[in-house]
Structure 1
């Protein structure tokens, strides 16, 4: 039996960072056009409501483009409509060119939401269909509306306690009948899909084989090295057995090759890589000689197990962990130094005082806080403070 090509741990790290745009020069010019190109390269950027520092999508893009400004993304989402907001594994900004491949997901999510306990919690019998129809009809008549435009006499709590109209809006959005043409104060504004994306709305739904090919090939192009499960998880639109079958066929056709990938602890695992991975590796630039602060939802951290294997970085998002049980903090940013994850810090922006507070700083085992390293971190913190509008930085004592 032939020995599989081996990707060493440093090679696997570089390939992943290169695929996800973290080896490119972040000082390159930031424009709506360069931002569109970046999002297409990443595939999507997760959108999140937590704003203890800045929105997740803004932090992810800022870590790759120094000159990025939120208005650039707003222009693409709300002006050009070259990006649209929908679900991958969570709410995300996605290239509109991919919209057709969200139609299978819309159909799937419609059926799943009807069967989910969440839906059953809100509606009984025909009530759900009536509320959904009424909400959609009102948007048809009146135009774009927010959840707050729909009154309901009951006071409800978060998510499980949503008022029926809010649940209906989310259902219509997740099933593709409504889109989010803009946000106001980060509240979603909903409108009919045919009014928001008229050219894309009428496109036919791809058949299962066409969608599988797109899902796997496009994910592979954004990972470069992957397992079938990682392919399936990338868009969260297909199942792992489907990705496994695609990998077998693609390997037989020479489009991808079986490899062994070395983890940072020396463990070797079977995987696949694009057939030209060696050429891509040779062409990758050296990592920028600077320190950057990554969003907790950064693509290289999304799969926590992969981040541990690739970088030896054990990361857990603790915003939803009770404070006494947190190991680090609420919204902890990993510290990327060149091509290494060397530490993490817990920031909080006090907007009323123009203060960026660093509540905690932790270096990874074996990382010495030398003067040069501290100086590079100070520069990164100053760049972050400027981006989020803080005049002062308060560091840990």
Structure 2
């Protein structure tokens, strides 16, 4: 008879994900350039987002793990040391530059996909697309780093989907790896030739498909600890699910990973894989910090909404792009992490003109009681957040 697969109980599966993604480490530890670099490498990447209701997504994600973190710390790594670079995973992200070569297959893939997408025809309608792209790149080659606003176009097409052709050209050249982002002014990207921003990494050869698959799956597995093939493929969005499944089968045969069964928060059991030493890692994990934390809506443990539901029983939807009358909770809702449990959610907004942090709504999860200790924990978390966003008062709690 076949031996039964190891079973990970739901609390252990959740704990392993929290540990893998840096939420069990001491958040009061000192912030240095190397410690922040190590954290980003531990996470794999940090999603960059433009919404600034409280703070930028990447800053909230890092602040939830390091009390002393400030945006200047990340700016130094991106713009001065250039040990991180901006590119796409599932979305725009800050990624360790040591892995730059593994974005070369993606640059080639994105170039082909964008050319074939309706996005290309929409943004370049009525223009010679190839000429616009060539002109934009030639001007940057002559003049150095430029912003979208440095390119004028007589037709005002509105924000985002109505980008002017030159802005679309900049984004295309960035996604295709021909331009890189040496720095930002405010939150506006400056673009320069990639060979001038990352000369050594730009010169590296593109990895062979087998080497890239090995790196993508092994690196994702090391940042999840317990995973399905689809979760490995989705982590970087650089390989396909069938490729990840083939990698898992080969790695399991070699003893690098092991098949397991994982209990969900609702008691259902699903097949998955885990690193071969998952039990030892589980034993070594520290106890969760005794505090309440407010997580970014784009936090790594929430990025996969289906996995968050399975691991924590937490059904989360980001509603900023949902019309207000149809929102269940609010525009920018922060999940509330208490120890190892997601216990509620809070809608908040920073009013910078009044130095005020407003709590617009608070919802505890079913079965969670708003005890005095729980309320104190939330008040402490809000006080830390208020300090981080520069607010002197909190209103609405």
TM-score of the superposed pair, with normalisation by structure 1: 0.99
1:158 and 1:207 map into 2 onto residues whose CA distance is 39
Q: 1:318 matched to which residue of 2?
A: 319
Matches within 5 A, 1:1-397: 1-123=2-124, 127-396=128-397
1:124 Cα deviation (Å)?
Answer: 5.3
Q: Deviations over 1:122-160 (max 9, x none)?
A: 235981110000000000000000000000000012232
1:312 and 1:235 map into 2 onto residues whose CA distance is 24
2:125 and 2:374 map into 1 onto residues whose CA distance is 59
2:44 and 2:350 map into 1 onto residues whose CA distance is 29
Q: Deviations over 1:343-369 (max 9, x none)?
A: 000001000000000000000000000
1:312 and 1:303 map into 2 onto residues whose CA distance is 13
Q: Deviations over 1:281-300 (max 9, x none)?
A: 00000000100000000000
Q: Report the 3-state secondary structure (helix = DSSP H, G, I; strand = E; otherwise coil) of the residue aligned with 1:50.
A: coil
Structure 1 segments of 4+ aligned residues over 6 angstroms from their partners: none
Q: Report the 3-state secondary structure (helix = DSSP H, G, I; strand = E; otherwise coil) of the residue aligned with 1:84.
A: strand
1:395 Cα deviation (Å)?
Answer: 2.0
Q: Deviations over 1:66-99 (max 9, x none)?
A: 0001000000000000000000000000000010
Q: Report the 3-state secondary structure (helix = DSSP H, G, I; strand = E; otherwise coil) of the residue aligned with 1:54.
A: coil
1:120 Cα deviation (Å)?
Answer: 1.2
1:185 Cα deviation (Å)?
Answer: 1.3
User: How many aligned positions are there?
Assistant: 396
2:347 and 2:266 map into 1 onto residues whose CA distance is 27
Unaligned runs of 5+ in 1: none
Q: Report the 3-state secondary structure (helix = DSSP H, G, I; strand = E; otherwise coil) of the residue aligned with 1:145.
A: coil
1:205 and 1:157 map into 2 onto residues whose CA distance is 37
2:123 and 2:89 map into 1 onto residues whose CA distance is 24
Q: Report the 3-state secondary structure (helix = DSSP H, G, I; strand = E; otherwise coil) of the residue aligned with 2:31.
A: coil
Q: Report the 3-state secondary structure (helix = DSSP H, G, I; strand = E; otherwise coil) of the residue aligned with 2:204.
A: coil
2:28 and 2:313 map into 1 onto residues whose CA distance is 28
TM-score of the superposed pair, with normalisation by structure 2: 0.99
1:383 Cα deviation (Å)?
Answer: 0.4
1:161 Cα deviation (Å)?
Answer: 1.2
1:50 and 1:232 map into 2 onto residues whose CA distance is 27
2:121 and 2:146 map into 1 onto residues whose CA distance is 25
2:199 and 2:214 map into 1 onto residues whose CA distance is 25
1:99 and 1:125 map into 2 onto residues whose CA distance is 35
1:157 and 1:243 map into 2 onto residues whose CA distance is 40
2:326 and 2:124 map into 1 onto residues whose CA distance is 35
2:123 and 2:332 map into 1 onto residues whose CA distance is 31
1:390 and 1:120 map into 2 onto residues whose CA distance is 44
Q: Report the 3-state secondary structure (helix = DSSP H, G, I; strand = E; otherwise coil) of the residue aligned with 1:359.
A: strand
1:167 and 1:126 map into 2 onto residues whose CA distance is 12
Q: Which moved more, 1:120-129 or 1:235-244?
A: 120-129
Q: Deviations over 1:13-40 (max 9, x none)?
A: 1100000000000000011111000000
1:185 and 1:159 map into 2 onto residues whose CA distance is 18
Q: Report the 3-state secondary structure (helix = DSSP H, G, I; strand = E; otherwise coil) of the residue aligned with 1:71.
A: helix
Q: Deviations over 1:182-219 (max 9, x none)?
A: 11110110000000000100100001000000000000
Unaligned runs of 5+ in 2: none
Q: Which moved more, 1:27-36 or 1:105-114?
A: 27-36
1:379 and 1:55 map into 2 onto residues whose CA distance is 21
